[in-house]
Structure 1
Amino acid sequence: MKKLVVVCLAAVAFSCGESKKEEKPELNISTQMEEKTAPAEATDSKVAVVSIEGNDQMKFNKDEIRVKAGQTVKLTLTHVGKMDKAVMGHNWALLTQDADMAAVGQAAAAAADNDYIPEDMSDKIIVYTKMLGGGESVTIEFEAPAAGTYTFMCTFPGHYALMNGKFIVE
């Protein structure tokens, strides 16, 4: 009976909160992790501004990014976790359409001296960020490739299985 009263009081307390404007609040980590598909936040038609996060659970907060062919893409990767890059490093790499993600991921595991970017697969990687540790952020700019669907991934050893998505160029 006490539990029922507590549940009822909690429901009343939450339902009586003040109403808020229809403003979209700043996203926190938990809401961003739910935001899986996102078009680029365009500042103008020539620049696509994209933000993506990686966490200590080996996940990106987006599994799809959409931009327009020929746009300048300004992509910011933020590692929202706390772990050091030697333990839980993250980067963002955009692969060519014909690249085999597993092959790139396996080759990357042997490329520790090159920030896990395999030199022998450089023809399969269009662009990439540096490797980040918890709390770090980096921004890169590049021109969106031709229309099509591309794969993006983290090249830290073993991460590509969970940390990947589609980069759709319209």
Structure 2
Amino acid sequence: MKLPLSLLALGLLFAAAQAQAAPNCTVKLKGDDRMQFDQKTVTVSASCKTITLELAHVGKLPAQAMGHNVVVTRTADVSAVAAAGMKAGLPNQYVPKGDARVLGFTSVIGGGATTRATMPGAKLQAGGDYTFFCSFPGHSGIMKGKLVVTK
């Protein structure tokens, strides 16, 4: 049975629309030895039950010298959380334990490593003002970006 070409094209168009409509629930970042993330803005959907944070450290330096993580907070909380993270130290991933301002975070990794963590999507609201950053001491000033949450 042969399908008319127009019917096949319509089916492909519908499949493409469905793929575009799927919400983005993953933040994928790369960090390097120059204290840079590969993206300055990432977008996720408020409809996600869970947000996955993925980080690949594409540098070569070890975690003790040039470790990176990803921390998500409201933009207004970045400086305070980064300062509290320095006090928490590497054993706590440079993240203050039990701090409600921390919406999600990954572990600290060194060059060549990858890490992944999840956070509840309900912690993010569409249109909210959120930032992702590295809380390794001295990194948060330049190693950060905007987390955009869409409906």
Q: TM-score, normalized by length of structure 2?
A: 0.75
Any idea what the Cα deviations from partners look like across 1:110-156, whole Å, max 9, x if unmatched? 11131211227x11100100000100001223343111220111010
Partner of 2:140: 160
Gaps of 5+ in 1: 1-41
Matched, 1:146 2:146: no
RMSD value over aligned CA atoms? 2.0
- The answer for the alignment partner of 1:137 in structure 2 is 114
Q: Equivalent of 1:60, from 26, 37, 48? A: 37
- Given that residues 70 and 143 in structure 1 are in contact (C-alpha distance below 8 angstroms), is that contact kept between their aligned partners in structure 2? no
Unaligned 5+ runs, structure 2: 1-18
Please say if residues 70 and 146 of structure 1, whose CA atoms lie closer than 8 Å, have aligned partners that are also in contact. no
**What is the aligned residue count?**
127
User: Per-residue CA shift, 1:68-100, capped at 9, x if unaligned?
Assistant: 11213333100000000000000000003542x
* TM-score for both structures, normalised by structure 1: 0.68
Q: Distance in 1 between matches of 2:75 and 2:35?
A: 23
Identity among equivalent positions (%) equals 35
Structure 2 Cα separation of the partners of residues 164 and 49 of structure 1: 17
SS at match of 2:136: coil
- Residue number in structure 1 paired with 2:86: 109
Higher relative contact order (CA 8 A, sep 6+): 2
Give the 4+ runs in structure 1 shifted more than 6 A: none
